[in-house]
């Protein structure tokens, strides 16, 4: 799906940058063509500054989104989910990042979370990036306590795991 969306903007790398930011941040486009997070409007100038484009590029991108029924259906329904990842150090939580070889393989989340649960470690949050919307999706697991080395080794040895970081 991500590739199909990006193809619609293949002639404009600047518009692709806007699309990528909307998807990464969970920003939606309302019926008036404004970029929003929930009911809060995100100024075009702020978006433009973040990705290094002119604000008119953001405006033309939202116009293009609303003029395409498929894109409008997607971008008017996006919502963001709060993440504990940036708060982890403040809250004394552990963030485990797992890169996988085939992100669309079934059972990745359940296999990893079962291993963690078997070690009696409480999981606060699991975030799995969608392989349709990002080039190298990752699995993030936020836990109440540190992951012991033996568990990290067990996770690293799973056939679908490319890299583990915490």
Q: What is the tens place of the pLDDT at every residue in 5-38?
A: 889 999 999 999 999 999 988 999 999 999 999 8
In a domain, 80, yes or no: no
- 3-state SS, one letter per residue, for 79-127: CCCCCCCCCHHHHCCEEEEEEECCCCCCCHHHHHHHHHHHCCCCEEEEE
Integer Cα distance of 10 and 4 in angstroms: 10
Residue 162 Cα to chain centre, angstroms = 19
Residue 96 shares a structural domain with residue 126: yes
In a domain, 83, yes or no: no
Decide if pLDDT at 40 tops 90: yes
Least confident segment among 11-20, 28-37, 83-92, 98-107: 98-107
Domain encompassing residue 22: 2-75
Tokens standing for 108?
A: 């990745």
pTM (predicted TM-score): 0.74
**How many domains does the chain contain in total?**
2
In a domain, 31, yes or no: yes
In a domain, 126, yes or no: yes
Decide if pLDDT at 133 tops 80: no
| 106: confidence class by pLDDT, cuts 50, 70, 90 | confident
Tokens standing for 36?
A: 């929003």
Residue 127 shares a structural domain with residue 105: yes
Residue 65 shares a structural domain with residue 93: no
Residue 57 shares a structural domain with residue 102: no
What pLDDT does residue 57 have? 97
């Amino acid at each position: 799906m991500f590739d199909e969306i990006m193809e619609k903007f293949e002639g404009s790398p600047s518009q692709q940058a806007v699309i990528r930011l909307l998807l990464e941040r969970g920003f939606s486009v309302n019926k008036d063509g404004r970029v929003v997070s929930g009911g809060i409007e995100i100024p075009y100038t702020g978006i433009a500054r973040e990705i290094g484009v002119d604000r008119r590029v953001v405006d033309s991108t939202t116009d293009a989104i609303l003029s395409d029924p498929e894109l409008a259906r997607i971008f008017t329904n996006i919502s963001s989910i709060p993440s504990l990842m940036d708060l982890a150090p403040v809250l004394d939580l552990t963030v485990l990042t797992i890169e996988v070889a085939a992100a669309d393989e079934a059972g990745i989340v359940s296999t990893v979370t079962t291993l963690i649960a078997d070690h009696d470690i409480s999981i606060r949050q699991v975030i799995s990036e969608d392989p349709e919307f990002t080039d190298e999706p990752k699995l993030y697991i936020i836990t109440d306590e540190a992951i012991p080395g033996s568990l990290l080794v067990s996770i690293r040895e799973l056939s679908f795991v490319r890299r583990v970081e915490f």
